[in-house]
A and B are shown apart, each in its own frame.
Chain A
Amino acid sequence: MNIEIKEQNGTYVGLLSGWLDTNEASQFMEDIKVLEENIDKSIVLDCKDLEYLCSLALRGLLKLKKLSATKGGRLVLKNVNGEVQKILTMTGFIKLFDIE
């Protein structure tokens, strides 16, 4: 699993790739702390190359989303497909995120 975060015109873009399972989840939570610090900004997480995400990661993402909503920011998931799309549908989280 890899996450690459960069700022583009005031929007924070995170490129997620690989298999985000429980072994990777704690590192993922550490990595997204940068986003937490800029939670009042616009955040886009690109899931084009993300193959899987576990419940712990999903939990981290939803916490981020809730935090962003309270701080006046915006968090969007982009290019959701394949297994990740299935997981979001099954967990019902698909309705909780803004997906582009």
Chain B
Amino acid sequence: MESIVFWGFNFYAWITIVTVLTMFTVLLFTKLRADLVFLGAISILFVTGVLNAKEAFSGFSSTSVVIIGVLFVVVAGLTHTGVLQWIVKHLLGQPKTYSKAVIRLMLPVAALSSFLSNTTVVALFVGIVKMWAKKLNVSPSKLLIPLSYASGMGGVCTLIGTPPNLIISGLYAEHTGSAMNVLATTIPGLFCLFIGVLSIIAMRQLLPDRQAPEAAFESTSDYTVELLVPSDNPHIGQTVAEAGLKEVRGGSLIEILHFDDITTPVPDDDLIMGGDRLVFAGQIDEILDLKKSHGLVNADHHVFTMSEVDTNRQLRTAYVTFGSVLINKKIGGSTFEKDNNMILVAVARRGMRINESPHEVVLQAGDTLLFECSPNVKIETEQLTSQLQFFDSAQVPNIGKKTFISTTIMIAMVVLSALNVIPLLQCAFLAAMAMIIFRCCNVDQAMKAINWEILMVFAGSVVLGVAIQKTGIAERLAFGILDVCGTNPIVVMTAICLVGTFITEFISNTAAGAMFFPIMYQAAEKLGYEPYPFLIALMVSVSSSFATPIGSPTHMLVYGPGGYRFSDFMRIGLLMNFIILAANILIVNIIYPLTPLNP
């Protein structure tokens, strides 16, 4: 079969080409799961004899794929200990101009994305940026594309920041026997980010000024929160306005229940008394901050001093399940809190703001409840799970000692691998173990955090790369590009990166990385140059998909909330593709000058 050659490709090469093209057509035009499509493609390549068993399953034992899997656990530790929420809260601030807002948004997002999954970071920021945009009186569509772009550009800054970097560096290590430094892409990545931020500011007119479709229901994620005033509170005797409790950051006081259950509609001159239950509506994390700033507490009974409150208690969020016995009941009128050793702090309902104390709310299926409970409380009991579905909410912060521990683990992992003290794979395993040992996340959360679908796609991409190389497609394409572009290494580098940038608009950037690796590697070798700088440029370009919403999962995350149209990405993204490509080629050739291969 290998001897049958048509247009320079043998039979196996044609099978590979047809399989890859079919796979992308299926991915583009159907809603089939990506992992199944990749698995199907691998099966075809294996059954038809293009790949042997070892090659067909090489993706699953690939170091880079294993690292990606282990990093899911590390990220789970960071997420569950509130690191992301802390950063979001402290970094955005109140910038006065659009340019400053873009900088305040893009830099932290890029910094986070350089260590965490881009999708995780963007998913966390989307809701917050929408609220932030409202505060700044800027349309969310002016900030959500920059958010998604920043995560992509930030991801490039480290090898662990984005899967294509791991895949390309992993393949490079397999080919040459020497590993790339975890910070190999940092300077090129930062330079491109710098150029990217400036470009966004300069081209802001190209970003649409559009209201998100659900803008009318902006307050749907508002929680109604009840906080108690202990008898030793310093604000007792002040009016709500004097105490700064009427209009608070992220919300407002909607009701006061005094000790004698007199509810007031909260005039500015109402006095704060010990025993008052203050009912706020708004952004949950900002309102819960009042516990620290104003000495308020969550409790199901009156407290005389702050010291009576157990500070180790944790916040848990839950949905009222369909068929729950809590439906049409009030938590206030039941023994639920005592029976389960948890206190209802807040309630949220999609589609409306609740204007009464959480304890007085007649619950409906789908209501989100926020409880404060002991860290040891068992939420998996049969009785509880029949009433409530507990989940981890990104909006609810649990910032404490563990926030510091998980951050230290993450930094230690990056530093140790960057300094080559311990290889990245071992570092990632140690960090994941540390996250579990120090209880930054539990085993359940760690297992749930591993996205098997994404892992399968990554493994599949590696296998496709092997097929493309083995069947000589990579070599032929490399020669083809050399024929068109001549022998100037920078022209060849630019040409492959340009094709990579546009291909990655339509396929996963990991797949693009895996497939373009052999082409770029072969081209560099054929020209007689060390492939390292070529591959660094490739890493940047396959992550630079700005022109279509399907170019990156993070674009899809902002597509709906921003109220975007397909063409919105095209208008600014096409220019961004060319700008970042130019910046990429320039900086890579400065930082990693081309060196001829030793003969």
A residues apposed to B, CB below 8 Å: 21-22, 54-56, 58-59, 62, 87, 89-93, 95-96
In the assembled complex, B170 has its CB within 8 A of some CB on chain A? no
CB pair A92–B262 under 8 Å, yes or no, is no
Scan residues 468-507 of chain B and give those whose CB is less than 8 A from a CB of chain A. none
CB pair A93–B273 under 8 Å, yes or no, is yes
A59 CA / B276 CA spacing, docked (Å) = 13
A2 CA / B215 CA spacing, docked (Å) = 55
User: Which residues of chain A are near B233, meaning CB under 8 Å?
Assistant: 92
Tell which of A22, A62, A87, A89 touches B271, judged by Cβ atoms closer than 8 Å. Answer: A62
CB pair B237–A93 under 8 Å, yes or no, is yes
CB pair B259–A91 under 8 Å, yes or no, is yes
CB pair A90–B258 under 8 Å, yes or no, is no
User: Which residues of chain A are near B174, meaning CB under 8 Å?
Assistant: none
User: Which residues of chain A are near B439, meaning CB under 8 Å?
Assistant: none
Kindly name the residue among B230, B271, B304 whose own CB sees the greatest number of chain A CB atoms within 10 A. B271
Which 3 pairs across A and B sit closest by C-beta, in order of nearness? A92-B274, A55-B258, A92-B236
A22 CA / B261 CA spacing, docked (Å) = 10
A65 to chain B: closest residue by CB? B237
In the assembled complex, B188 has its CB within 8 A of some CB on chain A? no
A55 to chain B: closest residue by CB? B258
In the assembled complex, B380 has its CB within 8 A of some CB on chain A? no
Q: Is the interface of B mostly helix, strand, loop or mixed?
A: loop
A91 CA / B273 CA spacing, docked (Å) = 5
User: Which residues of chain A are near B273, meaning CB under 8 Å?
Assistant: 55, 58, 91-93
Give the distance to chain A from B299, nearest Cβ to Cβ, in Å: 13
Give the distance to chain B from A1, nearest Cβ to Cβ, in Å: 14
A10 CA / B258 CA spacing, docked (Å) = 36
Give the distance to chain B from A88, nearest Cβ to Cβ, in Å: 9
B256 to chain A: closest residue by CB? A55
User: Which residues of chain A are near B571, meaning CB under 8 Å?
Assistant: none
Scan residues 219-278 of chain B and give those whose CB is less than 8 A from a CB of chain A. 229-233, 236-237, 258-260, 262, 270-271, 273-275
User: Which residues of chain B are near A96, meaning CB under 8 Å?
Assistant: 236-237
Tell which of A21, A55, A87, A93 touches B236, judged by Cβ atoms closer than 8 Å. Answer: A93
In the assembled complex, B302 has its CB within 8 A of some CB on chain A? yes
CB pair A55–B231 under 8 Å, yes or no, is no
User: Which residues of chain A are near B274, meaning CB under 8 Å?
Assistant: 90-93
User: Besides the contacts A87-B259, A91-B259, what 8 more A-B pairs have beta carbons closer than 8 Å?
Assistant: A21-B260, A22-B262, A54-B262, A56-B262, A58-B273, A62-B237, A93-B274, A96-B236
A59 CA / B264 CA spacing, docked (Å) = 12
A49 CA / B351 CA spacing, docked (Å) = 52
B271 to chain A: closest residue by CB? A59
A59 CA / B262 CA spacing, docked (Å) = 12
CB pair B237–A55 under 8 Å, yes or no, is no
Per-position 1/0 for B102-114, Cβ under 8 A of A: 0000000000000
Give the distance to chain B from A61, nearest Cβ to Cβ, in Å: 10
User: Which residues of chain A are near B231, meaning CB under 8 Å?
Assistant: 89-92
A76 CA / B270 CA spacing, docked (Å) = 22
A33 CA / B260 CA spacing, docked (Å) = 24
Give the distance to chain A from B260, nearest Cβ to Cβ, in Å: 5
User: Which residues of chain A are near B271, meaning CB under 8 Å?
Assistant: 58-59, 62
B231 to chain A: closest residue by CB? A92
A58 CA / B276 CA spacing, docked (Å) = 13
Give the distance to chain A from B261, nearest Cβ to Cβ, in Å: 9
Tell which of B232, B236, B237, B260 touches A22, judged by Cβ atoms closer than 8 Å. Answer: B260
Give the distance to chain B from A44, nearest Cβ to Cβ, in Å: 20
User: Which residues of chain A are near B236, meaning CB under 8 Å?
Assistant: 91-93, 95-96
CB pair B232–A92 under 8 Å, yes or no, is yes
